[in-house]
Amino acid sequence: MTQPTIAIFQGHTPELPDADVNVVIDVIRAFTTTHVAFLHGATEVLLAGEVDEAFALKEEHPDYVLAGERDAIKIEGFDLGNSPFDCAGCELDGHGMILSTTNGVRATLHAMQHGRDGHDGVVLVTGYTNAQQTADHIHALVERGEASRINLVASNPTGDDDLACAEFIRDRILGHGEIDHDEVVRRIRACESAQKFIDPTREKFDRRDIEMAMVPRGSNFVMLVLERNGQPVVEKEDF
C-alpha cells in the first residue's frame, strides 16, 4: 500500500488543501453526541451553523430533536444541549436530529466548502468514540486506491482533545501505534475543555459527558456528511 499524505489542521476555518478525504473531529462534544444519536436510532443529523437556521429546520421537521450549545451551554428553546449523556436518554428511534455547535459544526461546514477536490472529496465527522472505525474505513479507501490525500481537522482551535484524536486516527491509518488509547484518554481528560465538566462546583456541566467521550463504542459505520438540497446532513455509512 502506498502511504497516503495525511495533514492535521486545527480550528474552525483552517486553510485546507484539496484532499480525497476530510475528517472533522469534535470529541467534546459534537460528534460524540452525533455518534450516540445514531447508536440510539437517529436516522440523520442536520447541521445548522446558526441558531436561527436550527430553529427554521425544527419548523420544517417538528419531530426532529433540536440539540446544540453556545459556550458549552444549552441554547434556550432547544430540546437538548450538546450532551451525549442526555442524548443517550432520548427516544430517537426513527427520528432525526438538528445540531448546532460552537466548534464541530462550524468546522464541518467549512470543510464542505474547502479542501475538496471539486465535489468528489469525502467529508467524515468523528469523536473519539468511533475514531477507530473512521481510521479503519479510511485505511480501506487507501488500500483500494480511492484515497491518497487526507486532511484531519481538530475543530477546537486550542483543544488537545481533538488534536490527540487526530493523531490517533493518523497513526491507525498508517499502521503505527505511537499514540495508544491510554494516551488519548489522558489528553482528553487533561484538556482545558474538559475541566469545566470535571469541576464539581460547575453545576451546568456534567462530567458524564466527558466519561462518555473517552470510551470507544463498537459500531459498523462511519459518519458521512452530504449536501442534500443545499442542506448539510450527517448520515451513517456502513462498512
- Do 224 and 35 touch, CB atoms closer than 8 A? no
User: What are the start-end ranges of the H helices in 177-232?
Assistant: 181-190, 192-198, 207-213
Q: Which fold has domain 5-227?
A: putative 2-phosphosulfolactate phosphatase (3.90.1560)
Of 151 and 204, the one with more pLDDT:
151
Confidence at residue 204, expressed as pLDDT on a 0 to 100 scale: 87
Residue 172 C-beta-side C-alpha neighbours within 13 Å: 22
Confidence at residue 156, expressed as pLDDT on a 0 to 100 scale: 96
Residue 205 C-beta-side C-alpha neighbours within 13 Å: 18
**Mean pLDDT calculated for residue range 2-27:** 96
- Do 186 and 150 touch, CB atoms closer than 8 A? no
Confidence at residue 1, expressed as pLDDT on a 0 to 100 scale: 63
188-199 residue pLDDT tens = 999 999 999 999
Confidence at residue 42, expressed as pLDDT on a 0 to 100 scale: 97
Q: At what angle do helices 131-143 and 160-174 cross, to 10 degrees?
A: 40
Residue type for position 203: E
User: What are the start-end ranges of the H helices in the chain?
Assistant: 30-39, 51-60, 84-88, 104-113, 131-143, 160-174, 181-190, 192-198, 207-213
The neighbouring-strand residues paired with 37 are: none
Q: Residue 38, class by beta-carbon neighbours within 10 Å (0-12 exposed, 13-18 middle, 19+ buried)?
A: buried
Confidence at residue 22, expressed as pLDDT on a 0 to 100 scale: 97
45-58 residue pLDDT tens = 999 999 999 999 99
Q: Whose grid coordinates read 475543530?
A: 155
DSSP state for residue 106 in the 8-state scheme: H
Spatial neighbors of 68 by CB under 8 A, at least 6 apart, are 48, 51, 54, 74, 75, 78, 80, 81, 82, 98, 99, 100, 101, 105
Confidence at residue 95, expressed as pLDDT on a 0 to 100 scale: 94
- Do 233 and 47 touch, CB atoms closer than 8 A? yes
| For residue 80, pLDDT beyond 70 | yes
The neighbouring-strand residues paired with 228 are: 231
| For residue 119, pLDDT beyond 70 | no
- Segments making up each domain of the chain, as ranges: 5-227
Q: 3-class SS at 124?
A: strand
| For residue 239, pLDDT beyond 90 | no
